[in-house]
Amino acid sequence: MAHFPAQRPRRLRRTPALRRLVAETRLHPADLILPVFVREGLTEPAPISSMPSVVQHTEQTLLQAAEEAAALGLGGLMLFGIPAQRDATGSAGLDPEGILNRSIRAVKDTVGQSLPVMSDLCLDEFTDHGHCGVLDDAGEVDNDRTLELYAQMAVVQAASGADVVAPSGMMDGQVAVIRQALDEAGHHQVPILAYAAKYASAFYGPFREAVDSQLTGDRRQYQMDAPNRAEAVKEVELDLAEGADMVMVKPATAYLDILSDVAEIADVPVAAYQVSGEYAMIEAAAAQGWVDRRAVVLETLTAIRRAGATSVLTYYAAEAARWLREDLAPEPPVQHRSSVEQPEYPRTADRADDSGFPPVS
């Protein structure tokens, strides 16, 4: 008598419906945060050559992108501002009428409470040297002088209406200083999403084009070194102790081990950033026909969620949300041969379809 396996895991993989039933990780539009760039002085969107389909927005098209994000039910919008003028201290980032802060106000006026608006809290887009802080006489980033500017920047962003501020500069002590500044200014309700484990990565290349970076040298003095794993846990623990409401790992796909470690120890939501280089590689391979673009995008986003991310910052957020809506759209009813007339139940009044997502306008 032939010996057959006692365990047959394949039973639960037999059909798409069974696989959907037992899926351990699911994607939803609310898991996805869309990073967007708005550049001062543009009259029409400017394509980013290294990030196909991603643009530097005008102040008007930014509002259109925000409306779409809200309609799709995305988890949030992360704003990056690109000023017309830069200086050594990044003063345009502290200006209440600067491009980033007035864009925060405009987006909030447009979407209200339907979409969390997050603001990148860093000086690199605003400095003429491209670093995340002010430089000392030796040309190195001065950590503590930079913290003073971060505190001011946080208050201005909160006053402009930011729902979440996101310090990304990897300065020591940045969360504590920002939390104190926000509280003293009466912005107790504004949470901090800390870029807690941000690595000095080659995957950021296309982002430099996206923000027209003026960087000279590199950021290895303050961003983390790729070989280090335990250090990421230490950085996260410090940010949590300083009052971070959420923490982030950046980049995502090449650092899934770090993301898993952080998710194990963090008692707050954990985000991961699928960065520009990750996006560019998928686009390049798909353009050559080497990979199935949609399948690879959804697989990588699922992998990031599976590793422990509560939410994912991704340039695919809006497109992926549309795909998810399509995949979960209700199937047409099966026509049974029966003489018994089936009752027609009214649909729930508070939503426009049965997918569970808000309607797209």
pLDDT band at 354 (very low <50, low <70, confident <90, very high): very low
Q: Which domain holds residue 206?
A: 25-327
Residue 356 maps to a domain: no
- pLDDT tens column, 201-231: 988 888 776 666 666 667 778 899 999 999 9
Residue 16 maps to a domain: no
- pLDDT tens column, 25-64: 999 999 999 999 999 999 999 999 999 999 999 999 999 9
Q: How many domains does the chain have?
A: 1
What is the pLDDT at residue 312?
98
Helix (H, G, I), strand (E, B) or coil at 339: coil
Asked if the model's pLDDT at residue 139 lies above 50, the reply is yes
Q: Which pairing describes strands 46-47 and 55-57: parallel, antiparallel, or unpaired?
A: antiparallel
Return the HEC string of 204-238.
HHHHHHHCCCCCCCCCCCCCECCCCCHHHHHHHHH
Q: How far is CA 127 from CA 83, 166, 197, in A?
A: 10, 18, 23
Asked if the model's pLDDT at residue 348 lies above 60, the reply is no
Alpha carbons 31 and 27: distance in angstroms, whole number: 7
Alpha carbons 232 and 133: distance in angstroms, whole number: 21
- pLDDT tens column, 12-34: 999 999 999 999 999 999 999 99
Q: Which of 219, 250, 305, 325 is catalytic?
A: 250
Q: Which pairing describes strands 117-121 and 76-82: parallel, antiparallel, or unpaired?
A: parallel
Q: Which of 39, 57, 86, 198 is catalytic?
A: 198
Residue 77 maps to a domain: yes
Q: Please, where are the H alpha helices in the chain?
A: 16-21, 59-72, 99-111, 143-160, 174-184, 205-210, 230-242, 256-265, 276-287, 293-306, 317-327
pLDDT band at 328 (very low <50, low <70, confident <90, very high): confident
Over the chain, what is the mean pLDDT? 90
Q: 């040297």: which residue's tokens?
A: 129
What is the pLDDT at residue 307?
98
Is residue 108 part of the annotated active site? The answer reads no
Q: What is the pTM of this model?
A: 0.89
8 Å CB contact between 164 and 189: no
Residue 354 maps to a domain: no
Token readout for 265 is 């120890």
pLDDT band at 280 (very low <50, low <70, confident <90, very high): very high
What is the pLDDT at residue 21?
94
CATH of the domain at 61: 3.20.20.70
Residue 10 maps to a domain: no
Residue 193 maps to a domain: yes
Which of 6, 120, 20 is closest to 324 using CA atoms?
A: 20
- pLDDT tens column, 94-133: 999 999 999 999 999 999 999 999 999 999 989 988 888 8
Residue 18 maps to a domain: no
Residue 6 maps to a domain: no
Residue 118 CA from chain centroid, whole number: 9
Average pLDDT of the segment spanning 54-78? 97
Cis before residue 116, ω within 30 degrees of 0?
Answer: no
Percent share of the chain, pLDDT over 70: 88
Average pLDDT of the segment spanning 137-166? 96
Alpha carbons 108 and 111: distance in angstroms, whole number: 5
Is residue 250 part of the annotated active site? The answer reads yes
Alpha carbons 280 and 69: distance in angstroms, whole number: 21
